[in-house]
């Protein structure tokens, strides 16, 4: 028999068959199976009429006949078993194997990959992502260097053999400082604002990678909330800072010592009002409001928007220092929502704003040069509304850019350029937008027992005008109204005065600082009068009543406040607390 052609893989003898043509066909079949990752566990012997077949799954490799076995000085079953064992051993080795075939690496890290298999010759590496660099250390080892965050699948070839290397390059989610010092103000500084101040101050000092989020955990003994900090005092606490993100980042956790000092910062009346309420219903990505502040422009921002998109939407308020020197700003931020209850959102936001205003609450942020700080971040589901306020007063620096913007999720607040959104002015719909100067009205009034009632309106013309567009703030939303009312009782018997609230144009709610007490009247129908507070004066007594309010989102204006003397036996509103 003229035969004796060997079948080899990687220099390993597998079979000896009749002729070269058959050997070549078997070699091609085996290489194809190995190149395509066939499972060695599927190798088996099958008894056939012609002899014992060696199969890889359903594919026949070779049949050991009686004649072939005799030519190899063996029996069909014994020879087939021997050849199967050789083939299984070679298949287990494979043509090209990488160990490990999956890597997780920190950015700028290095790792080595062991290379084994029957293939020989130089390596070829195909990777178009640029996230990693792969080089050959020696014929049995590759070196991988991480260059950019993300996942990549790299094709490694050697001769005809190929294998894939999957590399996930991860970065730390950010970097946190060891300590943070915060200045707050207030009489006292409210505990929930103190925690907010620490978080925002950390944001100016930490490095937080794109898509990651900074959070702080309070110690167990402060789970009910941080205590208020009286003016002139300091509080030192230990907090846990966390930065977390997607699977591309390792989480960061660090113990941070925070020092909070409550300083006396005399209040300054804002001379600018920034209003972002048009478009009220946001359905595309873009900038809703932007303005550049100077130290001579203490300002108040009021924003109120609804998500009109079919998917969740993010909304942010940014402060950007575009200069080469540090900027310092006194901030007071409060908000309500998001919620689909439009009525309650505007009312709650006004009450929270007045609560902070009543105690002069705020905190100082140091914004490094050419740095953007995320002052507020909100996630709104479909049809949800939110309303917020931010007091902004520059203490140091030359200018500060304020920006309200929105993107559908998973859009990021990454500084990318966005279109400036707008909506045409509609005199029949009250959705103000713009920058308004001198956003406050103040009046001094007197009422003595026996005199006629006094009344005063708010949220009525004259409207403040946007000095950039000339359009009005119809309803004077966000404008502060103050009245100082001197009550007196020159008679010889006790007299009681009542304060009443009446919406004049539609349903409205009332949020008011009354002698630094925040009082609230729920939504009231048009022309329905509701008692707010009563004031009892003894014979000869005088009493000063200070009122501060503002037209709030979702209410209709104008509205009227009235002081009048109650008649003997007449039921009045709840009595005001003593000053």
Q: What is the torsional sign of CA 523, 526, 530, 535?
A: positive
Give yes or no for a contact between 476 and 464, defined as CB atoms under 8 angstroms apart.
Answer: yes
Tally of CB atoms within 10 A around 340: 15
Distances 200 to 294, 336, 425, 492 between C-alpha atoms, Å: 21, 18, 35, 57
What are the residues whose beta carbons fall under 8 Å from the beta carbon of 239, sequence distance 6 or more?
A: 198, 216, 217, 218, 219, 255, 256, 257, 258
Q: What is the pTM for the complete model shown?
A: 0.78
Structure tokens at 488: 């007196």
Q: Using an 8 Å Cβ cutoff, are 94 and 43 in contact?
A: no
**Whole-number pLDDT of residue 89:** 86
Residues 178-211 pLDDT 10s: 999 999 999 999 999 999 999 999 999 999 998 8
pLDDT at 1: 45
CATH class of 440-565: mainly beta
Residue 3 confidence (pLDDT): 58
The reply to whether CATH 3.40.720 applies to domain 177-262 is no
What kind of fold does domain 97-172 have according to CATH? Immunoglobulin-like (2.60.40)
CA dist., res. 335 & res. 346, Å (int):
9
Rounded to 5 degrees, φ, ψ at 270 are -60, 135
CB 244 within 8 A of CB 212: yes
What is residue 404's predicted lDDT score, i.e. its pLDDT? 97
Pick the CATH number of 272-423 from 3.90.930, 3.90.470, 1.10.1660, 2.60.120: 2.60.120
**For position 424, what pLDDT does the model report?**
60
Element (H, E) at 321: strand 313-321
> What stretches in the chain show pLDDT beneath 50?
1, 428, 579
Angstrom distance (rounded) from CA 521 to CA 510 = 5
pLDDT score at 432: 78
- The predicted structure's pLDDT at residue 364: 98
d(CA 34, CA 40): 9
Question: Which conformational region is residue 487 in: left (phi greater than 0), alpha (psi within -120 to 50 degrees), or beta?
Answer: beta
> What stretches of 368-422 adopt beta strand conformation (E)?
371-380, 385-396, 400-408
Transcribe 266-296 into DSSP letters. -----SEEEEE-SSSEE-S-EEEEEEEE-TT
What is the DSSP annotation of 414-430? S----PBP-----TTS-
- The one-character DSSP state at 265 is -
Number of neighbours of residue 138 by Cβ within 10 angstroms:
8
Q: How far is 58 from 42, CA to CA, in rounded Å?
A: 9
DSSP 229: B
Q: Look at residue 578 in the predicted model and tell me its pLDDT.
A: 53
> Which residue, chain included where needed, has tokens 């009082």?
519
DSSP per-residue string spanning 478-545: T-EEEEEEEEE--SSS-EEEEEEEEESSS-EEEEEEETTEEEEEEEE-TT--EEEEEEEE-TT-EEEE
Residue 17 exposure: Cα atoms within 13 Å on the Cβ side = 20
Peptide bond into 138 cis (omega under 30): no
Q: What is the number of residues in the chain?
A: 579
User: How is the chain split into domains, by residue range?
Assistant: 5-93, 97-172, 177-262, 272-423, 440-565
542 Cβ partners below 8 Å, 6+ apart? 486, 487, 488, 489
Do 97-172 and 440-565 come out as alike in CATH topology?
no
The reported pLDDT for the residue numbered 425 is 52
């Amino acid at each position: 028999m003229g035969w004796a052609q060997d079948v080899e893989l990687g220099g390993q003898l597998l079979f000896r068959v009749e002729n070269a043509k058959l050997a070549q066909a078997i070699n091609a079949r085996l290489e194809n199976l190995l190149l395509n990752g066939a499972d060695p566990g599927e190798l088996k012997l099958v008894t056939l009429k012609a002899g014992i077949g060696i199969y890889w799954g359903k594919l026949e490799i070779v049949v050991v006949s009686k004649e072939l076995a005799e030519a190899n000085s063996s029996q069909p079953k014994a020879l087939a078993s021997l050849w199967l064992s050789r083939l299984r051993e070679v298949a287990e080795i494979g043509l090209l194997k990488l160990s490990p075939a999956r890597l997780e690496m920190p950015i700028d890290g290095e790792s080595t990959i062991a290379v084994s298999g029957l293939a020989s010759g130089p390596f070829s590496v195909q990777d178009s992502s640029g996230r990693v660099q792969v080089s050959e250390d020696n014929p049995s080892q590759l070196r991988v260097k991480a260059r950019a965050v993300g996942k990549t699948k790299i094709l490694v070839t050697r001769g005809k053999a190929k294998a894939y290397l999957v590399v996930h390059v991860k970065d730390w989610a950010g970097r946190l400082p060891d300590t943070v010092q915060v200045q707050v103000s207030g009489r006292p500084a409210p505990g929930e604002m103190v925690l907010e101040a620490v978080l925002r101050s950390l944001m100016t000092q930490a490095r937080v990678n794109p898509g990651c989020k900074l959070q702080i955990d309070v110690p167990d003994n402060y789970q009910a909330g941080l205590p208020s900090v009286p003016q002139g005092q300091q509080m030192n606490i230990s907090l846990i800072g966390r930065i977390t993100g997607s699977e591309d980042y390792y989480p960061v956790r660090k113990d941070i010592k925070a020092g909070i000092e409550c300083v006396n910062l005399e209040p300054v009346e804002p001379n600018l009002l920034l209003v972002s309420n048009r478009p009220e219903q946001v359905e595309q990505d873009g900038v809703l409001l932007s303005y550049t502040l100077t130290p001579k422009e203490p300002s108040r921002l009021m924003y109120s928007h609804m998500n009109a998109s079919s998917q969740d939407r993010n909304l942010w308020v940014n402060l950007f220092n575009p200069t080469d020197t540090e900027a310092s700003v006194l901030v007071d931020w409060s908000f309500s929502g998001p919620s689909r209850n439009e009525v309650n959102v505007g009312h709650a936001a006004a009450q929270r704003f007045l609560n902070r205003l009543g105690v002069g609450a705020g905190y100082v942020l140091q914004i490094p040069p050419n740095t953007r700080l995320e002052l507020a971040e909100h996630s709104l589901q479909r049809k949800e509304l939110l309303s917020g306020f931010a007091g902004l007063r520059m203490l140091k620096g030359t200018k500060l850019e304020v920006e309200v913007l929105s993107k559908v999720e998973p859009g990021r607040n990454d500084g990318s350029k966005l279109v400036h959104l707008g909506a045409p002015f509609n005199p029949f719909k009250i959705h103000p937008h713009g920058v308004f100067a001198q956003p406050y009205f103040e009046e001094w009034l007197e009422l003595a027992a026996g005199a006629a009632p006094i009344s005063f309106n708010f949220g009525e013309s004259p409207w403040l005008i946007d000095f950039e567009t000339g359009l009005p703030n119809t309803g004077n939303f966000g404008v502060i109204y103050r009245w100082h009312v001197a009550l007196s009782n020159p008679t010889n018997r006790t007299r009681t005065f009542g304060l009443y609230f009446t919406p004049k144009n539609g349903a409205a709610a009332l949020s008011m600082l009354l002698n630094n007490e925040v009082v609230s009247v729920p939504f009231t129908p048009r022309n329905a009068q509701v008692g707010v507070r009563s004031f009892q004066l003894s014979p000869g007594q005088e009493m000063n009543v200070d009122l501060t309010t503002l037209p709030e989102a979702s209410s209709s204006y104008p509205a009227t406040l009235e002081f009048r003397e109650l008649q003997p036996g007449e039921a009045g509103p709840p009595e005001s607390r003593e000053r």
